[in-house]
């Protein structure tokens, strides 16, 4: 039986890379052909993990994607499994350039459209929700009790409304409102209250909290056509009385909101969040670059895409600064990276604490490797803006928002900024949902897609097997975004997920 070529069982992503990614489990003793010589697998290499393609001395910088992902901690022979036992973090010391790799994204020839809900401020929603926005955790349970009155068959009477969502959180008092954390929470709450996917809100407070109902509503734009009602538990006579009053209010809001209809609008009105979680060794090869291609297609339509998860671009930020439209935009990203170094150091950690155990089980070893795959979600378009957490997204094109890597906190920030659809890639399998913005989940490998078929929307595993090209996968994601924006439910919406994924990022002292 002839010896298989390395490229038949592994992916060498760049010609001079030191490692290849196994596309199936490679058993110890298997002999492969590579560059005119024999390469024998030393120890079993799981699918999605790395195999050394040449002998590597201790301390050697290891290249994948043509970039350094770490250094060997011991001598590694050709054919050896390369992972946490012999690969460690490398010092990050990039020479930053600004605007030196600007790719022109030509406007699309044909204007694409979707069916959305026009708002008076010029934004367009992909969903039409009633939101119960809580100013403080003290009103969280009451908000959920009100929202629970409007689930199931009851909503059949309101076909143009996507539901009632309680946006309950764990803060709003015992903090300094003017602090960084206080302002971040306020931005988040105001962002949801004015979100294009929420046509009406009931703002619910206790009545004595630091971030009060009126303070929260001060952030609504004057041009907003969001229908607004407010209640406080103390003034309403307690929890039971507030639930009764809130139920009456929400029923009225539903009647008014049901009068709104979807209309044909250009794809340029979309704001699409780009996120990932449960990444594996295929993430940077399949789903992430496919999403990057979809991002470029959206940008060509005049739409906005938003990459996030600052700790998961660390080590690859130099690739983004080269795409910045100005030094100011690129420097703003570097300033956020510098903030993160101080933040994690104060907590006793470092940015290379990432990847997670699940990431490592899937084949990712260092944050450098993970980040190089993560930035692929951003395609090749110029970076037009960098935002702080939950800051309102205003610039079209490819942008970035500073968020943690923790999935629900990151997505909450993107939605607060105005994302109306979120595309979420996953290798290990994520069950994240979202309200009011739908979350479209893309599997990086076919095994995860088949195992979690009721949770995954798209499968990009065919990029590895050759049954799907990266361009085809990107076009599939693009078309799926338009369909979901027009009202097609995602898998997570079918499961009614999203009620518990509203998790604002909490910073600062609690007094």
Q: How far is CA 361 from the centre of its chain?
A: 21
Residue 1's pLDDT band (boundaries 50, 70, 90)? Answer: low
Q: Residue 127 pLDDT more than 80?
A: yes
DSSP 211-256: S-HHHHHTTS-TT---EEEEEEHHHHTSHHHHHHHHHHHHHHHHHH
Average pLDDT on 164-172 reads 95
Distances (CA, A) of 340 to 129, 359, 387: 34, 21, 14
Residue 354's pLDDT band (boundaries 50, 70, 90)? Answer: low
Average pLDDT on 475-487 reads 98
Q: Residue 352 pLDDT more than 80?
A: no
Residue 353's pLDDT band (boundaries 50, 70, 90)? Answer: low
Q: Rounded to the nearest 5°, which phi and psi values hold at 458?
A: -140, 155
More confident residue, 290 or 177: 290
What residues pair up with 133 in beta bridges, in sequence order? 167, 203
pLDDT reported for residue 184: 95
Residue 410's pLDDT band (boundaries 50, 70, 90)? Answer: very high
pLDDT reported for residue 429: 94
pLDDT reported for residue 147: 97
Q: Residue 364 pLDDT more than 70?
A: yes
Q: Rounded to the nearest 5°, which phi and psi values hold at 88?
A: -125, 175
- Residue 48 contacts residue 281 (beta carbons within 8 Å): yes
Mean pLDDT of the chain: 94
Rounded Cα–Cα distance for residues 187 and 439 (Å): 21
- Residue 273 contacts residue 419 (beta carbons within 8 Å): yes
The 10s digit of each residue's pLDDT in 182-216 is 999 999 999 999 999 999 999 999 999 988 899 88
Residue 175's pLDDT band (boundaries 50, 70, 90)? Answer: confident
The 10s digit of each residue's pLDDT in 226-271 is 999 999 999 999 999 999 999 999 999 999 999 999 999 999 999 9
Q: Which helix (H) or strand (E) holds 187?
A: helix 180-193
More confident residue, 448 or 357: 448
The 10s digit of each residue's pLDDT in 12-58 is 999 999 999 999 999 999 999 998 899 999 999 999 999 999 999 99
Average pLDDT on 90-106 reads 88
pLDDT reported for residue 216: 87
Nearest CA-CA partner of 456 in 478, 430, 480: 430
Residue 274's pLDDT band (boundaries 50, 70, 90)? Answer: very high
pLDDT reported for residue 156: 95
Residue 73's pLDDT band (boundaries 50, 70, 90)? Answer: very high
* pTM (two decimals): 0.95
Q: Residue 62 pLDDT more than 90?
A: yes
């Amino acid at each position: 039986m002839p010896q298989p070529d390395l490229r038949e069982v592994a992916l060498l992503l760049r010609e001079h890379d030191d490692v290849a990614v196994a596309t199936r489990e490679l058993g110890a003793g298997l002999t492969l052909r590579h560059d005119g010589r024999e390469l024998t697998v030393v120890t079993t290499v799981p699918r999605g993990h790395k195999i050394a393609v040449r002998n590597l001395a201790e301390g050697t910088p290891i290249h994948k994607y043509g970039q350094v992902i770490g250094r060997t901690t011991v001598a590694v022979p050709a054919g050896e499994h390369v992972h946490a036992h012999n690969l460690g973090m490398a010092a990050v010391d990039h020479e930053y350039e600004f605007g030196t790799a600007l790719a022109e994204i030509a406007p699309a020839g044909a204007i694409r459209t979707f069916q959305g809900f026009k708002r008076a401020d010029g934004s367009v929603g992909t969903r039409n929700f009633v939101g119960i926005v809580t100013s403080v955790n003290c009103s969280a349970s009451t908000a959920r009790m009100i929202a629970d009155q409007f689930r199931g068959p009851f909503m059949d009477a309101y076909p143009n409304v996507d539901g009632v969502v309680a946006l309950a959180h764990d803060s709003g008092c015992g903090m300094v409102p003017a602090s960084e954390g206080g302002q971040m929470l306020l931005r988040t709450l105001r962002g949801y209250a004015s979100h294009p996917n929420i046509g009406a809100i009931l703002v619910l407070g206790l009545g004595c909290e630091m971030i009060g109902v009126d303070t929260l509503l001060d952030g609504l734009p004057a041009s907003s056509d969001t229908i607004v009602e407010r209640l406080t538990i103390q003034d309403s006579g307690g929890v039971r009385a507030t639930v009764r009053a809130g139920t009456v209010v929400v029923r009225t809001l539903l009647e008014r909101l049901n009068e709104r209809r979807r209309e044909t609008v250009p794809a340029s009105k979309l704001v699409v969040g780009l996120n990932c979680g449960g990444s594996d060794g295929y993430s940077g090869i399949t789903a992430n670059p496919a999403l990057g291609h979809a991002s470029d297609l959206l940008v060509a339509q005049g739409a906005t895409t938003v990459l996030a998860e600052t700790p998961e671009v660390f080590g690859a930020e130099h690739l983004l600064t080269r795409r910045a439209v100005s030094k100011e935009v690129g420097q703003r990203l570097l300033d956020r990276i510098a903030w993160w170094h101080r933040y994690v150091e104060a907590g006793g950690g470092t940015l290379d604490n990432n990847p997670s155990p699940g990431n490592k089980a899937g084949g990712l070893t260092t944050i450098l490797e993970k980040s190089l795959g993560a930035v692929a979600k951003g395609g090749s378009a110029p970076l037009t803006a960098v935002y702080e957490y939950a800051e309102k997204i205003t610039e079209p094109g490819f942008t970035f928002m500073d968020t943690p890597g923790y999935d629900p906190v990151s997505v909450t920030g993107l939605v607060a900024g105005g994302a109306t659809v979120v595309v979420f890639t996953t290798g290990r399998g994520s069950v994240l949902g979202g309200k009011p913005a739908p979350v479209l989940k893309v599997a990086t490998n076919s095994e995860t897609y088949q195992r979690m078929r009721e949770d995954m929307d798209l499968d990009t595993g065919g990029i590895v097997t050759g049954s799907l090209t990266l361009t085809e996968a990107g076009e599939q994601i693009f078309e799926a975004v338009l369909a979901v924006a027009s009202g097609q439910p995602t898998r997570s919406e079918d499961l009614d997920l999203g009620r518990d994924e509203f998790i604002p990022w909490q910073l600062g002292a609690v007094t």
